[in-house]
Structure 1
Amino acid sequence: MTVATVTVEEAAAWLQAGEAVLIDVREPDEFAAARIHGAILAPLSQMPAAWQALDLPPGKKIIVQCLKGGRSHQVCAFVGPTGPDGQPVFNLTGGIQAWNAAELPVVFAEQG
C-alpha cells in the first residue's frame, strides 16, 4: 500500500495553521523524553486500540510520526489513506529526528 508522506516543513506549517493533528506512535518513555509540541501519544505496541481511542477531529489532516518514520509508516499502512471521518493520513518523513534536524521545536523532558 502506498502511504502519503509529508515533510517536516510542510507538517510544521499545517500544525501552526491548525490544519492538522499529530499522532506520535513511539512508546511512552520515548514520548516522555522528547516530543513535538501538541503531539498525541498512541503507541504502536498498543495498536489498534490506541488508534481507535483517538478523538480525531474531522476536517483536519492526520500526521503520524515516530523516531525516523518506520513505525509511523506501519501505522499509516494499517489505518489506510484516510481517518475515520475521511481525513487524509500522512507519514512524517524522517520522524522526530528529521524534525529536530530541521531545527523545529522539540519539547525535551528536562524542559517539563
Structure 2
Amino acid sequence: MLDVEISTTELSSKISAGKPPDLVLLDVREPWEYATAKIEGSVLVPMGEIPGRLQEFDPEDHIVTICHAGVRSMNVAVWLRNQGLEKVQSLRGGIDAWSREIDPQVPRY
C-alpha cells in the first residue's frame, strides 16, 4: 500500500513525466482558497462535500489530496482510505509547501 503522504518532489516528478491518466489532484480547500492558489489540473471538492460525493471517486485512481498546509488533506486521505480507496495520498505540507519548494508562481497566503 502507498504511504499516506506524498512529498512535493515526488508529486512534481509524477506530473513532469506526463501526468498519468489515473492521477487525480483533489483539492479539498474552500473555493476562495482554490481561487487564490492552485496546482494546475487539480479538481476542487471542498472537504465538507467529500462524504456526499464519495461515489464520484474511482477506487482505481491514484488520488492526491491537497489543502493549505496538509492537515485537512490528511484527514480526507485517511477518511477515503477507510472507505476502501487504497490509492489515496495527502500532499505533505499542502499548497504552501508546493509554492515554497516546487512552483513559486503559486501564490502563498
Q: TM-score range by the shorter chain?
A: 0.7 to 0.9
Cα distance change, pair 78–57 in 1 and its aligned pair in 2 (3 A):
closer
- 2:7 is aligned to 7
What is the alpha-carbon root mean square deviation over aligned residues? 2.3
Question: Any gaps of 5 or more consecutive residues in structure 1?
Answer: none
Bigger shift: residues 43-52 or 89-98: 43-52
Q: Amino acid of the residue matched to residue 6 of structure 2?
A: V
Q: Take 1:94 and 1:107, find their aligned partners in 2: how far apart are those partners?
A: 14
Cα distance change, pair 107–57 in 1 and its aligned pair in 2 (3 A):
farther
Q: Deviations over 1:55-111 (max 9, x none)?
A: x484x421111000000011011111763xx5x111100000000001426556xxx
Structure 1 residue ranges, 4+ long, deviating more than 4 angstroms after superposition: 105-108
Q: Take 2:59 and 2:41, find their aligned partners in 1: how far apart are those partners?
A: 14
- 2:72 is aligned to 71
- 2:100 is aligned to 101
Q: Amino acid of the residue matched to residue 42 of structure 1?
A: V
Report the CA distance between 1:47 and its aligned residue.
Answer: 2.3
- The residue correspondences of 1:35-54 to structure 2 (distance < 5 A) are 35-54=38-57
Counterpart check, 1:61 vs 2:62:
yes
What's the secondary structure of 2:29's corresponding residue?
Answer: coil
Q: Take 1:48 and 1:106, find their aligned partners in 2: how far apart are those partners?
A: 32
Give me the identity figure in percent: 33
* Number of aligned residue pairs: 101
**Which among 21, 27, 31 is matched to residue 28 of structure 1?**
31
TM-score of the aligned structures, taking structure 1 as reference length: 0.76
Report the CA distance between 1:28 and its aligned residue.
Answer: 0.8
